[in-house]
Chain A
């Protein structure tokens, strides 16, 4: 498959994977640590959404499904499916060191491994998923945090996981 098309497809798949899993496991609902609350309130002060702010703060403060997807792609590139499972194990250890229960990180890592394995038959390689995940996390954290937080807040509303504040 053409590299550019593959990277765009992989970015879309990674974005859906980590946003859906992180939202389902309640990242927008409450900040896990104080740093996540500070990020959320700073984004709300700039006319953002508080749930999207908590989401971005939680992603920043501990390895969640976003880091899980990236590390699963790297593990799959190096070692195949066992590499993705090893990545899930290490993401779990990292989660516990960051005062996070770790459900989102490990589930995201395992689901990303399954997705990369399935899409490897279509022609999407693990390298495309690494680049795609970097692009996906850039759209959430890098380009425009306020607009991204509004989009994430709408998704959280759909999943009934919006912060009650």
Chain B
């Protein structure tokens, strides 16, 4: 059993569903995750840019924070060396679609926007 755990957490040896992939594949997976997440967010009619003024806006948009969520979750999978099929591209696409859907439908449920009370944004 400990051998199974060792194999699962150590990169480069046999894991559950992993093939060690190269640097080119990792960079490609990041680019795919960013592009797919932005595209899915735009298809779901999330605005491209946050509302003005940009620097103080709490609104979600396609360029922020959708790609941040996508690459963050993809990095968690990569450091665990779980890359799934097609050199990580399928995983990147699934995570991109997930983050677009998350930003559109669930973001304010998880991170509620602070209402304009007296304590914030005076």
Residue of A nearest to B112 (CB): A96
CB-based contact A106/B65 at 8 Å: yes
Contact B79–A89 (Cβ < 8 Å)? no
**B interface residue numbers (CB < 8 A to A):** 54-58, 64-65, 68-69, 71-73, 75-76, 78-79, 111, 114, 118-122
Does A86 contact B64, Cβ atoms closer than 8 Å?
no
> In the complex, are the beta carbons of A85 and B65 less than 8 A apart?
no
B72 nearest CB across to chain A (Å): 2
Q: How many residues of A contact B (CB 8 A)?
A: 26
Whether the pair A88, B68 counts as a contact (CB closer than 8 A) is yes
Residues of chain B within 8 A of A25, CB atoms compared: 55
- Which of B57, B73, B114 contacts A89, CB < 8 Å? B73
Closest chain-B Cβ to A28's Cβ sits at a distance in Å of 12
Q: When the two chains form their complex, are residues B72 and A30 in contact, meaning their CB atoms are under 8 A apart?
A: no
A99 to B54 alpha-carbon distance, docked (Å): 16
| A 97-108 to B, binary, CB cutoff 8 A, 1 in contact else 0 | 101011100100
- Please report the C-alpha to C-alpha distance between residue A124 and residue B120 in the assembled complex, in whole angstroms: 40
Q: In the complex, which residues of chain B have a beta carbon less than 8 angstroms from the beta carbon of A83?
A: 75, 79
Secondary structure call for the A interface: helix
Q: Which 6 A-B pairs have the closest CB atoms?
A: A89-B72, A82-B75, A96-B111, A99-B114, A85-B75, A26-B55
Assuming A82-B79, A83-B79, A97-B111, is B120 touching A103 (CB within 8 A)?
Answer: no
**Which residues of chain A are near B79, meaning CB under 8 Å?**
79-80, 82-83, 86
* Residue of B64, B79, B119 contacting most chain A CB atoms (<10 Å): B79
| Choice from A30, A93, A103 contacting B64 with Cβ under 8 Å | A103
Chain A 28-45: CB-based contact to B (< 8 A → 1; otherwise 0): 001111100100000000
Choose among B58, B64, B71, B121 the residue that contacts A85 (Cβ–Cβ < 8 A): B71
Given A86-B76, A101-B55, A101-B58, also A32-B121 (CB < 8 A): yes
For A85, give the chain B residue with the smallest CB separation: B75
A88 with B111: CB separation less than 8 A: no
A–B complex contacts, Cβ < 8 Å, 15 sampled: A25-B55, A31-B122, A33-B119, A33-B120, A34-B118, A34-B122, A79-B79, A80-B79, A83-B79, A85-B75, A86-B76, A88-B71, A92-B69, A92-B72, A99-B120
Which residues between 56 and 86 of chain A lie within 8 Å of chain B, taking CB atoms? 79-80, 82-83, 85-86
Tell me which residues across on chain A come within 8 A of B120, comparing CB atoms.
32-34, 99
